[in-house]
Structure 1
Amino acid sequence: MRIALVTDAWEPQVNGVVRTLQSVRRVLERQGHVVEVISPDRFHSLPCPTYPEIRLAMVRTATVGGLLARFAPDAIHLATEGPLCVAARRWCLRQRFPFTTAYHTQFPDYVSARSGVPAEWIWRYIRWFHAPAQAILASTPSIRATLVAHGLDQVRHWGRGVDLDRFHADIPPLAQIAALPGPRLLYVGRVAVEKNLEAFLACSHPGSKIVVGDGPARTALAAAYPDALFLGPRFGDELAQCYAAADAFVFPSRTDTFGLVMIEALACGTPVAAYPVTGPVDVLTPDVGAMADDLDAAIAAALTRDRGACAAYARQFTWEASAEQFLQALVPIAEVRSAA
């Protein structure tokens, strides 16, 4: 199958959306599918206000449409709600081509956290963007329920995976973290206001706090919490070693749709502490993590979990299964047009 994947989130961004798209693309291409990625790096772009790492493509509908027409896809997927996918959406509607979309991030909550704009105002845009899609792909039952509650009921499940060849219980711990006083409490992800990272850094549980990742809030948080170790971004085997060196992984976000980093930590045998919100409630079980409105209590409970059980639980999350769900949700253009 020839699959057009249009996305406003792509390299060099480092986040769960990009990692998901890259991982699924690799599996699909190994299976013989042809995946054409149309992303902001192919166009003139501007930095997103308050989030300069994200580039917003300045592109005309005809330009995106020309790329899609030349590729001649069997199916089209619009991964994000940014300007590039808006242009592709407009072209698809003009051509009467079906397309699928995905709800990767709690965009209304993110915008509200950064700007103070009421989240419901942003939901009007979300409904407009996704309403014409043949299917909206969502990673958890909680996100499905959220979309349905906002009038979007054409939802299909699209789970997430973990690279079990890289993230596993036998990975050696990173010496820099392992040398710190325990318990070693780790956060991995974007260092940004919507990740609620300050809740982790301000918690009173004893031990060492380690932050792996980068983002617009890093400088301010590092200055405010000098006792925490900010390692910056880590990738590949070194990232796996960070997970393996931690006694607990702390996930303070209240706005993520899934939390890919949680299953990476679990695959390395590291239990997870989190709030009982969308993402953690869909991913964690009592055997591998702990959730509480008091993050200190969640950390204390997570530290009692068995590392072997964590690693065994994570092995159910594979990118092969995720890619198959993605593939099954796609809507072939020829089928819809022949039925019209």
Structure 2
Amino acid sequence: MRIAIVTDAGQSQINGVVNTLQATSRCLRNSEHDVLLLSPDGSPTFACPTYPEIRLAYKPYARVAAALRAFQADCIHISTEGPMGLAARRFCLRHRIGFTTAYHTRFPEYLSARSMLPKAVTYRWLRWFHGPSKAVMVPTQHIRQELEQRGFRHLVLWGRGVDTERFQPVEQDHACIQRPLYLYVGRVAVEKNVEAFLQLDLPGAKWVIGDGPLREELQQRYPQVQFLGAKPHHELASYYNCADVLVFPSHTDTFGLVMVEAMACGVPIAAYPVAGPVDVVAHGRSGILDSDLASACSRALDLDRQRVREHALEYSWDVATQQFQHHLHQIPRANATRVAQSSIA
């Protein structure tokens, strides 16, 4: 099949959406599908409000329309709700083409945390965006139930995986590391609730890997914490393998891919019992979920790292990609040919 995936997440970004789409595209191509991954890369961009380091495509409709028209996709999947996603949605509706979408990010919670915009306003907009979708792919059952209660329709599950060859336990020289070592990996932003981790009175050391709008402020307020900055995805395994516990303080993530990566390295998770961790972590086996995050951190130290690794092996990109492919909407060939021959509109 010819599968077009449209995303607002540029490939230079470091986040779960980019990693998910790269892994999914790789699995699809390995199955001999032709994949067009259409992102803002190469387009004029502007800074995302409140996230200046994230660049969004500026007026991308003509480029998106031309690319989709030329590709003649059998299926079109719109992965994000930004300018690229809006352009692809407009193109599909204008040409009466069915498409699928995905819900990767809790933007209502993010925007509420950063700008005090009422969540109801953003959810109303998201219902409009995803309304025409033939299938709205969500990562976990808890997210599916939450969105159903908010009036979303056509919700289906699309899981996630982990590269268990890249992310695996590796012996390292840890003599210079203060123990126990608690690690956070992710954006340093208010919606990630990073400060809940930094405030904990824990023995040992704390490392933070990632960048974001709060990094400079938090680095000044918590000088005892090592802020190591953002790291390329292929380097993360070495940092996971240094850690005794991965701490995941977020209340707003839809999945939390870093948890699966850490578990694949044998590193137990400490997190709150909220959507995301409750779907990903096997409580008492691969991590500890507790409303008292300090208690979760301490108890996670006692978990068997081999059992943690075994739980991560249950996550497969091949299986997740099969789910993705199953939910795609097939465009009738006559429709694709008609659109290819049409003028830009």
| C-alpha deviation, 1:146, in angstroms | 1.3
The one-letter code matched in structure 2 to 1:66 is: A
Alignment CA distance shift 1:75-1:180 (3 Å): same
Query: Which string of whole-angstrom CA distances, capped at 9 and with x for unpartnered residues, describes residues 134-173 of structure 1?
Result: 000011001101111111131111101111111112x233
- Which residue number corresponds to residue 65 of structure 1? 65
- Which residue number corresponds to residue 99 of structure 1? 99
- Which residue number corresponds to residue 213 of structure 1? 210
| C-alpha deviation, 1:10, in angstroms | 2.1
Distance across 1 between alignment mates of 2:257 and 2:175 = 23
Q: Are the equivalent residues in 2 in contact too, given 1:249–1:265 (CA < 8 A)?
A: yes
- Which residue number corresponds to residue 334 of structure 1? 332
Superposition map of 1:18-37 within 5 A: 18-37=18-37
SS at match of 1:333: coil
- Which residue number corresponds to residue 317 of structure 1? 315
| C-alpha deviation, 1:292, in angstroms | 1.1
- Which residue number corresponds to residue 131 of structure 1? 131
The one-letter code matched in structure 1 to 2:197 is: F
User: Is the aligned partner of 1:200 residue 2:200?
Assistant: no
Distance across 2 between alignment mates of 1:237 and 1:130 = 33
Alignment CA distance shift 1:273-1:82 (3 Å): same
Distance across 2 between alignment mates of 1:325 and 1:190 = 28
- Which residue number corresponds to residue 38 of structure 2? 38
Distance across 1 between alignment mates of 2:275 and 2:88 = 29
The one-letter code matched in structure 1 to 2:171 is: P
User: Is the aligned partner of 1:186 residue 2:210?
Assistant: no
| C-alpha deviation, 1:237, in angstroms | 5.1
Query: Which string of whole-angstrom CA distances, capped at 9 and with x for unpartnered residues, describes residues 187-233 of structure 1?
Result: 11111111110000001121200111112211111111000011112
Distance across 1 between alignment mates of 2:120 and 2:175 = 44
What number of residue pairs does the alignment pair up? 335
| C-alpha deviation, 1:60, in angstroms | 4.8
Superposition map of 1:111-150 within 5 A: 111-150=111-150
Distance across 1 between alignment mates of 2:85 and 2:235 = 34
Sequence identity, in percent?
Answer: 50
Alignment CA distance shift 1:68-1:183 (3 Å): same
Q: Are the equivalent residues in 2 in contact too, given 1:77–1:330 (CA < 8 A)?
A: yes
Q: Are the equivalent residues in 1 in contact too, given 2:74–2:333 (CA < 8 A)?
A: no
Distance across 2 between alignment mates of 1:238 and 1:139 = 25
User: Is the aligned partner of 1:297 residue 2:291?
Assistant: no
RMSD: 1.6
The one-letter code matched in structure 2 to 1:255 is: T
| C-alpha deviation, 1:100, in angstroms | 0.3
User: Is the aligned partner of 1:266 residue 2:259?
Assistant: no
TM-score by length of 2: 0.94
Alignment CA distance shift 1:15-1:29 (3 Å): same
The one-letter code matched in structure 1 to 2:76 is: I
- Which residue number corresponds to residue 275 of structure 1? 272
Distance across 2 between alignment mates of 1:25 and 1:148 = 28
Q: Are the equivalent residues in 1 in contact too, given 2:77–2:100 (CA < 8 A)?
A: yes
SS at match of 2:241: helix
Q: Are the equivalent residues in 2 in contact too, given 1:185–1:247 (CA < 8 A)?
A: yes
Distance across 2 between alignment mates of 1:139 and 1:336 = 32
Q: Are the equivalent residues in 2 in contact too, given 1:43–1:59 (CA < 8 A)?
A: no
The one-letter code matched in structure 2 to 1:212 is: I
Distance across 2 between alignment mates of 1:124 and 1:236 = 34
Q: Are the equivalent residues in 1 in contact too, given 2:185–2:208 (CA < 8 A)?
A: yes
Distance across 2 between alignment mates of 1:247 and 1:72 = 49
SS at match of 2:291: coil
Query: Which string of whole-angstrom CA distances, capped at 9 and with x for unpartnered residues, describes residues 24-56 of structure 1?
Result: 111111111111111111321101111012111
The one-letter code matched in structure 2 to 1:138 is: V
Query: Which string of whole-angstrom CA distances, capped at 9 and with x for unpartnered residues, describes residues 224-266 of structure 1?
Result: 1000011112235531111111111100011000000001110
SS at match of 1:18: helix
SS at match of 1:245: coil
- Which residue number corresponds to residue 341 of structure 2? none
- Which residue number corresponds to residue 245 of structure 1? 242
| C-alpha deviation, 1:179, in angstroms | 2.0
Long gaps (5+) in structure 1: none
- Which residue number corresponds to residue 229 of structure 2? 232
Q: Are the equivalent residues in 2 in contact too, given 1:178–1:245 (CA < 8 A)?
A: no
The one-letter code matched in structure 2 to 1:238 is: E
Distance across 1 between alignment mates of 2:196 and 2:110 = 17
Distance across 1 between alignment mates of 2:175 and 2:184 = 15
Long gaps (5+) in structure 2: 337-345
User: Is the aligned partner of 1:84 residue 2:81?
Assistant: no
SS at match of 1:137: strand
Distance across 2 between alignment mates of 1:329 and 1:106 = 21
SS at match of 2:41: helix
Q: Are the equivalent residues in 1 in contact too, given 2:282–2:311 (CA < 8 A)?
A: no
Could you tell which deviates more after superposition, 234-243 or 293-302? 234-243
Distance across 2 between alignment mates of 1:259 and 1:330 = 23
Alignment CA distance shift 1:264-1:111 (3 Å): same
